[in-house]
Amino acid sequence: MARNYRLVVFDWDGTLLDSAGAIVACMQAAAIDLGLTPPDERTARQVIGLGLHAALAQALPGVPAGEYPRVAERYRHHYLSQDHELSLFAGAHELVEELSEAGCLLGVATGKSRLGLNRALEASGLKSFFHATRCADECSSKPAPDMLLEIMDELGAAPELTLMIGDTTHDLQMARNAGVDALAVGYGAHPREALQAERPLGLFDEFAQLTEWLRRHG
């Protein structure tokens, strides 16, 4: 099904940036710092893409809500100590640049904080390519449609001409709730079978496959 999209919106962690493993490790380390039972890897991966406090509420359900700021502080400590070592997936920078040169409007909808996304955009060298971005501390957390709706409104893009790309079921459900098409990548946080159950337009196990699809249909 060949379609031309005016606006392409990417998730960040696990979609453009190879960071899912680091996020899991930092979440577990934060819990250990405070003497809490750390979430197992599957549980930690499941909450990637949500806002930090929403993620902690699901990953550490027995912890009083009043403790989340302390866990969040320890998570940020661990993440910021090594986020400079994280890198984009091979081909990500080239794809974003290629889409920009082709005239696509580009956006980011992420569970990161505004401060965290700004740091990541600067470090990756991709900041200049994105026309609009929304973060979890600015909008309702995925899978609510708010991030996509605000980006579309800001850029004047209709839902039928907008495409969301992400590595979690939260991304795909957000896209459905906003009335836009979605692609899934299976190399990030959520397992392939969970992504497939959301019936995305395409599901790709390698970044090169995503690039090829966008060259044909994007």
Same domain, 101 and 171: yes
Own/partner pairs for 54-57, CB < 8 Å, 24+ apart?
54/136, 54/141, 55/27, 55/111, 56/27
Q: What is the pLDDT of residue 111?
A: 93
Same domain, 97 and 198: yes
> How many structural domains are present in the chain?
2
Residues 15 and 67 in one domain: no
E strand intervals along 69-166:
105-109, 132-134, 162-166
Q: Are residues 45 and 78 both part of a single domain? A: yes
DSSP tally for the chain: helices H, then strands E = 10, 6
Residue 138: DSSP 8-state: T
| Residue 113 sits in the same domain as residue 167 | yes
- Kind of pairing between the strands at 202-204 and 105-109: unpaired
Domain stop point among 34, 49, 84 = 84
My answer on whether 191 and 104 are in the same domain is yes
Count of residues making up the chain: 218
Q: Which of 39, 64, 84 is the last residue of a domain?
A: 84
User: Along the 218 residues of the chain, how does pLDDT read in single tens digits?
Assistant: 345 899 999 999 999 999 999 999 999 999 999 999 999 999 999 999 888 788 888 899 888 888 888 998 999 999 988 888 899 999 999 999 999 999 999 999 999 999 999 999 999 999 999 999 999 999 998 999 999 999 999 999 999 999 999 999 999 999 999 999 999 999 999 999 999 999 999 999 999 999 999 998 86
The confidence score (pLDDT) of residue 217 equals 84
CATH number at residue 112: 3.40.50.1000
SS3 of residue 28 by DSSP? helix
The pLDDT of residue 68 is 86
If DSSP codes are grouped into helix, strand and coil, which group holds residue 68? Answer: helix
Token pair for 2: 């060949």
13 catalytically annotated: yes
Q: Quick one: 192 and 92 in the same domain?
A: yes
pTM: 0.92
- Residues 176, 129 share a domain: yes
Q: Given this model, what pLDDT does residue 191 score? A: 95
Question: Is 1 part of any domain?
Answer: no
Q: Give the CATH number for residue 28.
A: 1.10.150.240
Which residues, at least 6 apart from 42, have a Cβ–Cβ distance to it below 8 Å? none
Provide the angle, in degrees to the nearest 10, between the axes of the packed helices 68-80 and 20-33.
130
Is there a single domain that holds both residue 155 and residue 61?
no
Q: Which of 13, 18, 83, 167 is catalytic?
A: 13
> 167 an active-site residue?
no
pLDDT value for 218: 64
Domain span at residue 56 reads: 20-84
- Same domain as 173, residue 161: yes
